[in-house]
Structure 1
Amino acid sequence: MTEPKPLRADARRNRARVLAAAETVFAAKGTGAPTEEVAREAGVGIGTVFRHFPTKEALLEAVLMERMRRFAEEAQSFAAADDPESAFFAFLGRWAEMAAVKNAYTDALSAAGTEVPRLGEVGVKARDALGALLSRAQRTGAVREDVGVGELIALMVGASRAAEHLGDDAALRTRTLAIVFDGLRTR
């Protein structure tokens, strides 16, 4: 099997513009927004969108994977922060925000009958960074010692899904996450 040819510089720029525009449009109007709006936002024709992303699902998947790549990078920067406790809880807050977006994309892909992409290397990087954040916070005594990465992921997935049911009540979401975070702290 031969490797695909690398994209020309102008094609790479167009692809990046389409991805950025798709993220903007989907954030403002939801994942059901039409690809024509993405093309308008990107300043390209609809043919350019479909040249890079043959289906709307391919575009949704690409936006999701790009967001997850950035999230993994963000997790790594939190893991290197000076204050392990603040970094740990700030990152969990970011996780809850990101999870709502990720869930919207994966729900849209599932509804379209498309297999949700595996996170692969991006997921490994995020999990490793989460492990480093957790270990550092535990060493400082900020987080319970009996919590492992697996439990933390399960807890945050559940908390993130639950936060979706709270709707637009940001204050209630904040209080709910504070309760979850208090359960992670040492007594």
Structure 2
Amino acid sequence: MPDTAARRPLRADARRNRERILTTAQEAFAVHGAGASLEEIARRAGVGSATLHRHFPSRRSLLEAVFHDRVEALCAKARQHAQESEPGTALFSWLRDFNAYAATCRGLAASLAHGDREPEPVRRNEGCTTVIADAAGELLRRAQLSGAARPGVRVEELLALVGTIALATEHRADDEQARRLLDMVIDGVRAERQEP
């Protein structure tokens, strides 16, 4: 029965509230990072805190909703690289895309990395983290099978490294340091026989 209720379409006023919350949250996260005040987001959206939490029970669920479309585009890039490039090139090109994406999403890497400390309100198979891990995992698997990437590398480790780069370079004026750090990660992931 709860599943049916969850799938029921929102009333028009609830849908408008949800959209205002998402728009306001996107602006707030762009300026203040993923730690932006939820109460301030609710106030600016013209809704109460309870309304915000009814639509988004946790900060993570709000972040997931705000970044959903961008994550889908990032995963589409993974599929495109897989179709158009050799496995190693596909993986390393997509890691550069992911690095650029993480740099534009202030605080998202930290929030998603540490989000498991709060109750998970969204089904695991729908979350940004899972969708990104699935896309990266397929690219990594193909690169390892082709001999382009070291066999012992795990997708969780790879994503943690890119997330750490985003955290370490988040307040830099340019992206040069993030690119250089990612190149070091790629050199470490690349199989020894693979040319740089």
Common topology (TM > 0.5): yes
1:16 aligns with 2:19: yes
1:133 aligns with 2:135: no
* Structure 2 residue aligned with 1:102: 109
Match of 1:174 among 159, 176, 179: 179
CA shift, 1:91, in A, is 2.6
CA shift, 1:131, in A, is 2.6
Deviations 1:41-65 (A, max 9, x none): xxx4233x6324259x835222222
CA shift, 1:179, in A, is 0.6
Match of 1:29 among 32, 37, 48: 32
* Structure 2 residue aligned with 1:62: 61
CA shift, 1:115, in A, is 3.1
CA shift, 1:175, in A, is 0.8
User: Please, which runs of 5 or more residues in structure 2 have no aligned partner?
Assistant: none
| TM-score when normalising by structure 2 | 0.66
User: 70-79 or 24-33, which moves further after superposition?
Assistant: 70-79
Between the aligned partners of 1:7 and 1:167, the Cα distance in structure 2 is 37
The answer (yes or no) to whether the contact 1:88–1:133 under 8 Å persists in 2 is: yes
Between the aligned partners of 1:95 and 1:45, the Cα distance in structure 2 is 34
Distance 1:94 1:16, change over 3 A: farther
Which consecutive segments of 4 or more residues in structure 1 shift more than 4 A? 105-110, 116-119, 138-141
Distance 1:182 1:106, change over 3 A: closer
3-state SS of paired residue (1:6): coil
Could you tell me which amino acid in structure 1 is paired with residue 36 of structure 2?
Answer: G
Distance 1:119 1:80, change over 3 A: same
Aligned CA RMSD, in angstroms, stands at 3.5
Between the aligned partners of 1:107 and 1:125, the Cα distance in structure 2 is 17
Percentage identity across paired residues of the two chains = 26
Deviations 1:97-119 (A, max 9, x none): 43841313665895xxx435576
Could you tell me which amino acid in structure 2 is paired with residue 13 of structure 1?
Answer: R
Between the aligned partners of 1:117 and 1:19, the Cα distance in structure 2 is 17
Distance 1:127 1:9, change over 3 A: same
Between the aligned partners of 1:146 and 1:38, the Cα distance in structure 2 is 47
